[in-house]
């Protein structure tokens, strides 16, 4: 059984991986979804479904929550106020747009994430991020 500490340690090993849209290879390249996919493969096992093609911008059609729908299929949904270290947190950058960003919490106040123009990094989940949380999810079968 996978533990939260294993998820956190795995996510932190991805720090420094360059941002590459739709990629998911540690030290080679990943985006935010690729980071979560890579951590899943290393800690849980085979990915449950292939990621569909997706755009790198935030201008997708409102009303479709492709990322959140997939998270609900494969992770255990949490109350957004209750996420813990080792959980996945989803964000939306505008109230009327779909969630398009993910991070892996390393504590209630920090996360590892990938974003365009930078390498994977561990950052604070400050007010900027907190007001954009669209969902929180636990990896399946994770022990404390």
User: Which whole number is the average pLDDT over 9-14?
Assistant: 98
Domains of the chain, earliest start first: 4-46+65-138 (3.90.1720.10)
Instruction: Report the Cα–Cα distance between both ends of the chain, in Å, rounded.
Output: 10
Model confidence band, residue 57 (pLDDT cutoffs 50, 70, 90): low
Q: What are phi and psi of 32, to 5 degrees?
A: -65, -40
* CA gap 26, 31 in Å, rounded: 11
Interhelix angle 32-43/4-13, rounded to 10 degrees, is: 130
Structure tokens at 75: 């992770």
pTM above 0.75, yes or no: yes
pLDDT at 4 exceeding the cut of 70: yes
Q: Dump pLDDT digits (tens) for 59-82.
A: 666 678 889 999 999 999 999 999
């Amino acid at each position: 059984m996978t533990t939260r500490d294993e998820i956190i340690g795995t996510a932190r090993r991805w720090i420094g991986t360059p941002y590459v849209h739709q990629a998911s290879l540690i030290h080679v390249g990943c985006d935010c979804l690729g980071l979560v996919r890579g951590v899943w493969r290393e800690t849980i096992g085979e990915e449950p479904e292939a990621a569909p093609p997706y755009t790198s911008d935030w201008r997708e059609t409102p009303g479709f929550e492709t990322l959140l729908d997939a998270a609900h299929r494969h992770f255990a949904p949490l109350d957004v106020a209750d996420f813990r270290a080792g959980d996945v947190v989803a964000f939306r950058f505008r109230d009327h747009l779909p969630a398009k960003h993910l991070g892996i919490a390393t504590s209630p106040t920090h996360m590892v994430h990938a974003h365009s123009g930078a390498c994977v990094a561990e950052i604070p989940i400050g007010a900027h991020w907190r007001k954009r949380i669209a969902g929180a999810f636990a990896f399946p079968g994770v022990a404390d």
